Structure 1
Amino acid sequence: MALHRDIFWIGRQWAVTGAGIQAVDQRLRGVLDIDIARLWDEGLVQSRRAKPGVNAEDFDRALTMARERFPETAVSAPFLAQLKALGVVETPVVSPVVAPAMQLRAEGRLARFLPQWRVRR
């Protein structure tokens, strides 16, 4: 996977990006990358650190920078967000601003003789 467009820190082997920690070497195709949601998963971090060829010093520095930038959230927060998106958990309904109804005034006329219209904001 290519490096995310938001790069916050870049080292010799690792980079802290908007996607989390990514390996700078793109030949790995994102195999060793760590997403933001899994930065605090110690099992995953230790397995990545134990891989052969990983520069441990650079990895530790990238991990420290990423954890400062993306602090740990409650475990249930992403789960609740997913439930709200699916509509399982009800959220208070806020009435949207009512836009005036569009009126079409083209009845009985040929379309080629009507003036062109554009939406104005």
Structure 2
Amino acid sequence: MKKTILMSALLALFVFSCASTSSATVAVGEAKTKVLKILGNPVRTLDNNQNGEILVYADQIFVKDNSEGSQIAGSHYWLYNYVYVNKEGKVTSTRQEKQNYPPQAIDSVKMEGLNLLTSK
């Protein structure tokens, strides 16, 4: 009995620890509440003018250095997952991209003027 409970707990821990922005996906048409259940809270929420909002999820990815035993963090990048939600609370599209800047540096006003995909 104890072995079954322990194995169940370890399996649940493994499943929840493997969830990240890059592996979890949401479908177009999903409700915002379901997105929040799947991906959790976004690191940023941007206003998408009259179209709704953009939920920004980000994972910082470190590239492993080839030197053995190095304790210094190597180079890194940010993997972004943008989830576009309309005024009705439904997902209209999603997009992923790699960037070198952190989530705090995202400026939706500047992005809108550049006509990037993230400012739909």
**Structure 2 length normalisation: TM-score?**
0.21
**Structure 1 length normalisation: TM-score?**
0.20
- RCO greater where, 1 or 2, for CA within 8 Å and sep 6 or more? 2
Structure showing greater Rg: 1
